[in-house]
Amino acid sequence: MSRPRLLIWSVIAALVFLGAVWAFWPRAIFVDVAQASIGEMEVAITEEGEARVHDLFVVSAPASGYLNRIEIDPGDCVAAGETRLADIYSPAAGSFDQRTLLQLRAAAQAARSSLRAADAEVHRQEAELEHVMADLDRMRRLASSGTISEQALERAELNSETHLTAVSAARSARDAARFDVTRAEATLIPSSAPSTDDALGVTAPVSGQVLRVLRDSEGPIAAGEPLLEIGQSSDIEIVIDVLSEDAVTISRQDRVRVRGWGGPDRWAFVDRIDPYAFTKISALGIEEQRTNVVAQLEHPASGLGHGYRVRADIIVWQADNVLRIPMSALFKTSGGWSVFVVRRGRAREQSVELGHMNGRMAEVLSGLSNGDVIIEYPSSQLKDGSKVKARPREADSSDTQIIDLGTIDDAVSFRDPCGEDLPMVERRQTLDPSRLAQMTTDQTETDEGRP
């Protein structure tokens, strides 16, 4: 083989070899990276809640009767003891069919006959009493002259007392018969519309706002039937039902972030944890034991009404200067939790000891340092020592880095719909950028939870 041809084949072989080496040479794996950073961290229990008026007054009908139409609408303001809410009239007598009417008339005739008989009995007893009293006078005169014995006089006196008692009983029977006639005749009074002269007015027991009208139509009503609900729209509390296992981690005065109600986020604090749990069926059909946690708003929220749905984050733990990493960087190993740390362009497996976790971030107790670069969402291709390269991140307008350090002014002005502006105490807090970003994050962001 000639020398030039040998040289050509040698070059071709070298190129093939270099191509094979290049093809099978380990390439860097593109990964998402993040940094371990020191900042504020919190653990919160996130559940749905309901806003309700702290003191809800249900106004009921004080007596049975005929209710006039209620003209008050929800949202109207009422004054205690002054605003007339409803009028209840005495019920009208009912109408009778022919059979019932004949029976009532017969009963009235029988009552009148009994009255006449009782009156005749009274006259008979009074006549006999008059005769007995005349005999008693004669017996006394004869006894004084010694014509009759003392025993005969005593029998005459006893006879007079007996007739006196009989007359009194006959008169009482006549009175009873007269009352029976009155009762029987009252049942025959024809039906008529209720009179407005004897209306029973229902006034507002407290000052506030009408929240709901339960009965506004005119018609008969029974005593105790609810008419409407009244409350102070400025006195709103938040009721959150949480799992009983989460309730034991909540303490009074824990801060609560109220959001997702259509207005800006509000702060509240835990006022009461009910000691009684109830069974609730979840959307998946699972029975859960839950209990109510009641939170009081630090400032009234204008527009938040009774029965409105809210999202509540009950902060059960919070700390500053915590070394934290995203939960997406963690994976389980036989020794516990681990992460991949990027060192000199290669992924190095590193065991870590964790503290609190909130579903997005994890507190690192040992194994990492501030500023360490870690890999998020590690794939099965990653091994200890794999060559990696950071994947470029797309610009995110909601990145927390664009939010400057500042103050959040919690001073609010709440206008009571039934009064003047309520004076609010101004309260200012200085927050670091991480907390500021977390409080201003869009409501559609994934809710924080507990692992």
Q: Rounded to whole angstroms, how far apart are CA atoms 125 and 177?
A: 17
At residue 249 the predicted structure's pLDDT band, cuts being 50, 70 and 90, is very high
At residue 245 the predicted structure's pLDDT band, cuts being 50, 70 and 90, is very high
Residue 21 has pLDDT above 50, yes or no: yes
Note the pLDDT of residue 430: 36
In degrees and rounded to multiples of 5, residue 123 shows phi and psi of -65, -40
Note the pLDDT of residue 154: 80
Residue 24 has pLDDT above 70, yes or no: no
Contact indicator for 304, 263 with CB cutoff of 8 Å: yes
Coil, helix or strand for 20? Answer: helix
Question: pLDDT by residue (tens digit) across 123-136?
Answer: 988 888 888 888 88
Contact indicator for 376, 31 with CB cutoff of 8 Å: yes
Residue 444 has pLDDT above 70, yes or no: no
Note the pLDDT of residue 166: 87
In the chain, the amino acid numbered 291 is: T
In this prediction, residues 88-110 reach a mean pLDDT of 77
**Alpha carbon distances (Å) from 122 to 115, 136, 344:** 11, 21, 126
Note the pLDDT of residue 401: 34
% of the chain with per-residue pLDDT over 70: 81
pTM (two decimals): 0.60
Residue 400 has pLDDT above 60, yes or no: no
Note the pLDDT of residue 253: 92
Q: Rounded to whole angstroms, how far apart are CA atoms 378 and 376?
A: 6
Task: Please give the residue that has the higher pLDDT: either 26 or 360.
Answer: 360
Note the pLDDT of residue 432: 42
- If you compute the radius of gyration of the chain from its CA atoms, what whole number of angstroms results? 47
Task: Please report the DSSP string for 171-240 in residue order.
Answer: HHHHHHHHHHHHHHHHTTSPP-PPPGGG-EEEE-SSSEEEEEES--S-EEE-TT-EEEEEE-TT-EEEEE
Residue 316 has pLDDT above 60, yes or no: yes
Note the pLDDT of residue 214: 93
Note the pLDDT of residue 407: 32
In this prediction, residues 349-358 reach a mean pLDDT of 92
| 208 contacts: CB under 8 Å, gap ≥ 6 | 57, 77, 78, 230, 231, 232, 233, 418
